[in-house]
Structure 1
Amino acid sequence: MSQLRGPASSGPLRVWWEALAAAAAGVVTMYVVASLGLWAAGAGDLPGGAFPHVVAATVVAAAGGSVELTGDAGVIAQADAALDAVPLSVTLAGALVTAAVFLRPLRHRAVATGHELLARVARTAAFWLLFLLVLALVARHSFTISVGNDLADEIGAELGATPTVGFRADVPATLGFGLLWVLALLALTFLVSRRAPLSSPLLHLQNSVRPPAFAMLLVLLAYAAIGLITGVIVLIVKGHPAETLAVLFLGLPNLAWMALGIGTGGAWTGHVDKAIGLPVPQLLDDVLRTRHGARTVDLASLGEHDGRVWLLVAVAAVVLLGAAFAAAVRSPAGTPAWRQAVELAVALAVTLLLVGLITRILAHYGLSLIGVGDLGGNLGGEVTLQPQLLRLVAAGAAWGLVTGYIGGLLARRVRHPGEAPEHAPPA
């Protein structure tokens, strides 16, 4: 019984402190990573003390919140703007730290009651929402913009058509989506980590769900690590430190996980109308840049500009085979290879579906006079990137079946956790 009581019996203040620590550690990590990325991107030079407000808005977006862009140009002009993009470097950093601190008090326990686990999740989510509310209230600011001509600016001021653009967090939507985000994170933490205790009714997940879920975590982290190494090499060899650091601290997983999807045969569709300030690698910009219509981003279109992109297939094969082997080793001894193939196919298909959903981009800004045309060559622009979800899911299922089956066969010669050695001495 002492195992069931564990640290929760040490007093109510301690469990509240542990929940506060998990939420605070995640939010602080996200704020620091977002600050570094935005500073590298040049946001530190924004006027009117906007930097902390922009950082807060970035953290809100990374934590599942909603940030709206606003535009106003007075009575005879109209400005409109939209931005839908998740800075996944900030998201990943906060998720990993939050999960690690949340699990720390539970690391020596194998089983816990469902009531205790739900109470821990509820306390952590409550503190998370409190921090998110503060950030959402800070995440608002507006800027006055110039049309690029002093005379036009003066005329606009006289006519009440001085354009402004700003942003603000939608507080109710931010709290709603933020709650779903932290609950999903903590649920995934229990699914993936061996250190997370489960209640008795959920112990079957230990063998059926955790191995493929853990394998998918390995895949995502491996691609993030490969992307980080690639970014450091680019930083050393090609320079452009500010742009490279901005990508690393804001959008590294966006690009790395797109590489996973593309390497397995998935695709995205989009275009870049004009430069809009988002850090987009040159190769991706070359494929997407078009004035009309949309382009497909896949191995074929990228390979037209750089043949080295076909190496993504080899990287996917190595990483997925390694993950499949790890999942098979963690599965109970005697699990047939076909079952491990099916489990990994489902896991990879769901993973690529989520990758597609969280890597989509919609960014637009435009300014028009009396509703006609864009004013200023640099005042209108658009970047879109949308996943082809069916293609991603199909590619994930196919690769999961193949690599899962091979991984299951390779793991037969390896002793599984809890399995006795073949020539163990009699008891």
Structure 2
Amino acid sequence: MSQLRGPASAGAPGPVRRRGAPPGVRAWAQALGAALAGIVTMSVVAALGLWAAGAADLPGGAFPSVVAATVLVAAGGSVGLSGDVGGLAQAGAALDVVPLSVTLAGALVTATLFLLPLRHRAVAGTGELLARVARTAVCWLVLLLLLTLAARHSFRITVGNDLADRIGAELGATPTVGFRAEVPATLGAGLLWILAVLASAFLVSRRAPLSPGLLRFQDSVRPPAFAMLLTLLCYVVIGLVIGIVELITKDHPAETFAVMFLGLPNLAWMALGIGTGGAWVGHVDKAIGLPLPHVLDQVLRAHGKRTLDLGALAGYDGRAWLLVAVAAVVLLVAAFTAAGRSPARRPAWRHAVEMAVALAVTLLAVGLLTRISAHYGLSLMGLGDLGGDLGGEVTLEPQLLRLVGVGLAWGLVTGFLGALPARRVRHPGAVENP
């Protein structure tokens, strides 16, 4: 009896206890980690770009609020601007531009960490995948909601004219500009943004598990989707190299640094669209603090709205025609990569069709993401803008049908040509037909 009440012998196996957090807690921790890492990355990139752009000197300690607002806009959120200059004057402001450097950094980090726990699995249940997406989306929305509380500020500004400033002070019309996040619109758009990022992660990744019902689509969707990601990232890398050269050789490093950390993909992906024959229509009225490359500023500053395409750029700088060669090389490499990741016996015409659809959709998205609409104006007693320094406007709108058309044409040609050499040189991880 004493042996029965005593401790178990050293050789007897005891109960097996799983160490670590429960699976549910671990899943929520992974979701929070992916969302938090994305927000932190976006905040760092936005802070660096805004600091280079001079936002750290804004009055009233507005810099943290401006960083929060920039992150929200980069994640699809909405930030409203308002102006108040007293009863005798009116101020109007509007800004609609996506800082795609911030957007791209957050999307890449969030998607990578979201897929990391799934990298060793080939198939996953639909319920499990939806649950992972839902947890990450919830964490993302909570973090966005916290940012909306910080993305609000108001401060006084000067109009750049000593006489106008004195008149405004005497009349009680000192301009005050404020901004604040629009919570419902921000959360709604932020939800769509995170869902699009996670869906894109499953589209481009070969190792991300799919539910059994979607496996039959992976050979026709994932290779061209990955080719488009490769294309966009190649253009960003090319733009980064050009930006580094500008930093070394030119005398405006702060402006170049600001463009790199705020709008590098905006310019790089526009170069893709213009190089394939696409176009934007826009106008630069007066400078309002949005840094633009010199050649774009020259084209858009002309009287009236101008079409920004290869012909317009080449009229100011003949090197613009190099954009065609860059587009041809990058898209051929992307098409070859897509064909190498596809089943070996797929015909070239099918590669061409898949590449055409993928490129058309990509250029459509590029056009929508690179729109710019920015305006600031001040008027006294309804008499319009007070002087050349008190108002400004920048607009840039894509010609979407033209972008889709050239995407289809270039996709067909490069998809077919890129598939021909891929018949001999197969990708080591090519997926064979089931």
On whether the aligned pair clears a TM of 0.5, the verdict is yes
Does 408-417 or 305-314 show the bigger shift?
Answer: 408-417
Larger Rg: 2
Within 2, Cα distance between the matches of 1:153 and 1:293? 30
Aligned to 2:49: 37
Within 2, Cα distance between the matches of 1:37 and 1:183? 26
1:68 aligns with 2:80: yes
Aligned to 2:12: none
Kindly indicate whether the alpha-carbon contact (under 8 Å) linking 2:343 and 2:431 is maintained by their aligned counterparts in 1.
no
Aligned to 2:68: 56
Q: TM-score, normalised by structure 2?
A: 0.92
Kindly indicate whether the alpha-carbon contact (under 8 Å) linking 1:332 and 1:416 is maintained by their aligned counterparts in 2.
no
Structure 2 counterparts to residues 9-408 of structure 1, below 5 A: 11-150=23-162, 152-290=164-302, 292-408=303-419
Q: Which runs of 5+ in 2 are unaligned?
A: 1-20
Identity within the alignment, %: 75
Within 2, Cα distance between the matches of 1:144 and 1:36? 24
For residues 418 and 26 of structure 1, do their structure 2 counterparts lie closer, same or farther at Cα, with a shift above 3 Å needed? closer
Kindly indicate whether the alpha-carbon contact (under 8 Å) linking 2:341 and 2:430 is maintained by their aligned counterparts in 1.
no
SS in 2 for 1:121: helix
Q: TM-score, normalised by structure 1?
A: 0.94
Deviation at 1:348, TM superposition (A): 0.1
Within 2, Cα distance between the matches of 1:323 and 1:145? 48
Within 2, Cα distance between the matches of 1:154 and 1:416? 70
Q: How many residues align?
A: 413
One-letter amino acid matched to 2:91: A
One-letter amino acid matched to 1:341: A
1:14-48 CA-to-partner distances (Å, cap 9, x unmatched) read: 11100000000000000000000000111111110
Kindly indicate whether the alpha-carbon contact (under 8 Å) linking 1:34 and 1:90 is maintained by their aligned counterparts in 2.
yes
1:366-416 CA-to-partner distances (Å, cap 9, x unmatched) read: 001122221132110000010011111101000000000011111111235
For residues 408 and 270 of structure 1, do their structure 2 counterparts lie closer, same or farther at Cα, with a shift above 3 Å needed? same
Within 2, Cα distance between the matches of 1:104 and 1:173? 30
1:100-128 CA-to-partner distances (Å, cap 9, x unmatched) read: 11111011111100101000000001010
For residues 419 and 212 of structure 1, do their structure 2 counterparts lie closer, same or farther at Cα, with a shift above 3 Å needed? closer
Within 1, Cα distance between the matches of 2:301 and 2:321? 21
CA RMSD of aligned residues (A): 1.7
Q: Which runs of 5+ in 1 are unaligned?
A: 1-8, 422-427
Deviation at 1:150, TM superposition (A): 4.9
One-letter amino acid matched to 2:200: L
Deviation at 1:156, TM superposition (A): 2.9
Deviation at 1:362, TM superposition (A): 0.4
Kindly indicate whether the alpha-carbon contact (under 8 Å) linking 2:55 and 2:63 is maintained by their aligned counterparts in 1.
yes
Within 2, Cα distance between the matches of 1:348 and 1:299? 19
1:260-298 CA-to-partner distances (Å, cap 9, x unmatched) read: 0000000001010011100111110010003x4201111
Within 2, Cα distance between the matches of 1:272 and 1:315? 27
SS in 1 for 2:139: helix
Deviation at 1:158, TM superposition (A): 4.4
Deviation at 1:146, TM superposition (A): 2.3
SS in 2 for 1:365: strand
